[in-house]
Amino acid sequence: MDRFPLVVVGHVDHGKSTVIGRLLADTNSLPDGKLEQVRLECERSSKPFEYAFLLDALAAERDQGITIDTARCFFHSTQRDYVIIDAPGHIEFLKNMITGAARAEAAVLVIDAKEGVQENSRRHGTMLSLLGIRQVIVAVNKMDLVGYDKGVFESVRDEYLAFLRQLGLIPQAVLPVAAFFGKNLSDRCAELSWYDGPPLLGELDRLILASNHLHKPFRMPVQDVYKFTEEGDDRRIIAGRIETGLVHVGDDVVFFPSQKRAKVKTIEEFSAPQRTEVGFGKAIGFTLDPEIYVRPGELMVRAGQPSPRSANRFQANIFWLGKRPLVTGKRYKLKLATAEVPVWVDRIEKVLDASNLSSGVREQVEQHEVGQCVLEAFKPVAFDLSADVAETGRFVLVDDYEIAGGGIILSDHGVGNTLLDRHLAHREQNWERSSLSSSTRALRWNQRPTFILLTGGADAPLVKLAQALESTLFEQGRFVYYLGLSNALLGLQAGHEDRPEVLRRLGETAHLFTDAGAVFIASLAGLDDPERQVLEALARPADVLTVTVGPTDLTQTAALLLSTEQPLDEQVKILVHHLSEAQIFPEFAL
């Protein structure tokens, strides 16, 4: 007994709610007495009865006579159960329409035969195509108002088919109905005898539920990593929901973008028989061998299957819902599967008016428009092209706490950091160099200006080491400075949100101090490869000497690896020795 999720969309007042209400009534899917209760209420308030009132459960709605939000209701044909999502037709409620439609497997698009194709008929069609809903039935409603005329039906049908064709959408059927009178809904009718196809209900029963994702490559976005220690539980569980494909115990798996590898050791599930394989749709957990460290947001895939993309630049079609427009250069938060990274729009290639598909080039994408854009994330994320794996090829953008847009990824633009490059070029051009060269300064201080960057896990004693190193070098007469910003000041507690800004400031500060000839020390827990590259670029021309304490996420080897087991004074000794070996402090003045 599957329950088919269906959305009903269309322009305001074209009769979406009537179609649904009548379907509920005709299939005997209403609670006893509901219809009578609504009829009675209408009588009492001297309003003509409408099926739409059945759905208007909220007082606010009844007042305005329009659907504000997405209401769900359930009905059944002789074939199966349906859950219908009634989506509002008003443009102001487009985000609600999208919320409803995104949950559906198929859509019924209602068009008023008399009014014909309207702005939101087209806009909703565009949204369905962007949301990836390929199964569409078009119901040309209110045929009673045009005398059940075949010619009127055909002209609406042809106009709309031409529009859908531009979107690459071919509807399963376009059929005439008169929903208020129940014509051609559950049964065929005499008035529309010129129409050959099955009635709406028959068309609904022909829709196909959930395409089979088992044959697709295995994709599981890592939602979280758990280690609950209560009751002696020592499992380290990688939890997530499998979007596509299938995986077995013993399979080699790879996590993107870190590219870490392991084998599936066990499949974990509470109160269920032990499994040896698990497929798409399941929210599940795995233990790995070896127990590698992976982060929420990574994409778990199977070795030997097509790899996902791992890039920070990609092209996408974005529908914008935000009250403030989508603008280039501004930072947003990208949420793609379970990954979250800061992102900005590098450029807007074209803007599409969703209601008429005309396009133009602009600097911003306004509310309810669709923009084809190139996005640049702060660091690489794992994804697929929407055409390959829809589930991992789409994302939303958060602007000031709100989901303000959604998008599907069209193409991969590789790795690059255009904002940083632009900034560095700008800095280079506009920097008024003093007459003192860096070698003059190096000679004065008898040292090579260097940025010593200490990193490690969240609990590595980085600050103590940095302080001890600064004192030791200072005692030796060196020109040294430790930037003692706590993690709180660096904004690291706030999660990833402020990380790009923190890195920018840190890199610029390192640049200033090293330009002045200093040895500059800073510590930053949880550094990864892209972040290291950003700091190295900003500190140029000074060298960055990366020192790790304990395990880290860096894949490119650091200049010096220290262990958390070593006592502090030994760590300092090793470090100082390394600095002299690396000719940062030449033994003899030149």
Partner 1 sequence: MNEHLDALESQSVFILREAYRKFKNLAMLWSIGKDSTVMLWLARKAFFGHVPLPLVHIDTHFKIRSMIEYRDRLAKEWKLTMVYGENAVALREKLTFPDGKVDRLTCCGSLKSEALKHTLAGDWPRYRLNHETGAYEQDPNTSPYTGVIVGARADEEGSRSKERYFSPRDQHNDWNVDDQPPELWNQFKTDFAPGTHLRIHPLLDWTELNIWEYIERENIPVTPLYFNQGDGKRYRSLGCFPCTNKVDSEATNVKEIIEELKTGKFSHIAERAGRAQDKDGGGLESLRRGGYM
The contact set with partner 1 (CB under 8 A) reads: 1-3, 30-32, 57-60, 68-74, 83, 95-96, 98-99, 102-103, 131, 223-224, 226, 228, 230-231, 233, 235, 237, 239, 241, 268-271, 281-283, 285, 296, 321, 333, 335, 391, 394-396, 398, 401-403, 406
Q: Which is nearer to partner 1, 57 or 443 (CB)?
A: 57
Partners of 398 in beta bridges: 333, 403
Question: Would you give the DSSP letter of residue 487?
Answer: T
Do 84 and 6 touch, CB atoms closer than 8 A?
yes
Partners of 336 in beta bridges: 339
The number of beta carbons lying within 10 Å of the beta carbon of residue 127 is: 25
Q: Left if phi > 0, otherwise alpha if psi is -120 to 50, otherwise beta: which for 357? A: left
In angstroms, give the least distance from the CB of 36 to partner 1: 13
DSSP string, 284-311: EEEEEES-----TT-EEEETTSPPPEEE
In angstroms, give the least distance from the CB of 524 to partner 1: 23
In angstroms, give the least distance from the CB of 548 to partner 1: 27
Distance CA 486, CA 502 (A): 12
In angstroms, give the least distance from the CB of 34 to partner 1: 8
Distance CA 174, CA 143 (A): 13
Q: Give me the numbers of helices (H) and strands (E) for the chain, helices first please.
A: 14, 28
Distance CA 87, CA 262 (A): 45
In angstroms, give the least distance from the CB of 67 to partner 1: 10
Q: Which is nearer to partner 1, 233 or 581 (CB)?
A: 233
In angstroms, give the least distance from the CB of 243 to partner 1: 9
Question: Would you give the DSSP letter of residue 244?
Answer: B
Do 244 and 389 touch, CB atoms closer than 8 A?
yes
Q: Which is nearer to partner 1, 70 or 514 (CB)?
A: 70
Find how far residue 270's CA is from the centre of its chain.
Answer: 29
Q: Which is nearer to partner 1, 60 or 489 (CB)?
A: 60
Strands 543-549 and 450-456 turn out to be parallel
Among 248, 228, 238, smallest CA distance to 285 is for: 238
Q: Which is nearer to partner 1, 79 or 580 (CB)?
A: 79
The number of beta carbons lying within 10 Å of the beta carbon of residue 494 is: 11
Phi, psi of 445 (to 5 degrees): -90, -10
In angstroms, give the least distance from the CB of 446 to partner 1: 50
In angstroms, give the least distance from the CB of 62 to partner 1: 10
Distance CA 224, CA 340 (A): 13
Q: Which is nearer to partner 1, 183 or 236 (CB)?
A: 236
Distance CA 588, CA 590 (A): 6
Do 212 and 292 touch, CB atoms closer than 8 A?
no
The CA angle 310-311-314, to the nearest 5 degrees, is: 125
Strands 326-327 and 364-365 turn out to be antiparallel
The number of beta carbons lying within 10 Å of the beta carbon of residue 157 is: 19
Question: Would you give the DSSP letter of residue 210?
Answer: S
In angstroms, give the least distance from the CB of 93 to partner 1: 9
In angstroms, give the least distance from the CB of 526 to partner 1: 17
Q: Where are the beta strands (DSSP E) in 227-330?
A: 237-241, 246-248, 252-256, 260-268, 277-279, 283-289, 299-302, 309-320, 326-327
Do 304 and 252 touch, CB atoms closer than 8 A?
yes
**How many CA atoms lie within 13 Å of 440's alpha carbon, on the beta-carbon side?**
5
- Torsion sign, CA atoms 57, 63, 66, 67: negative
Q: Which is nearer to partner 1, 236 or 379 (CB)?
A: 236
Instruction: Indicate the burial class of 196 (C-beta count within 10 angstroms; 0-12, 13-18, 19 or more).
Output: exposed
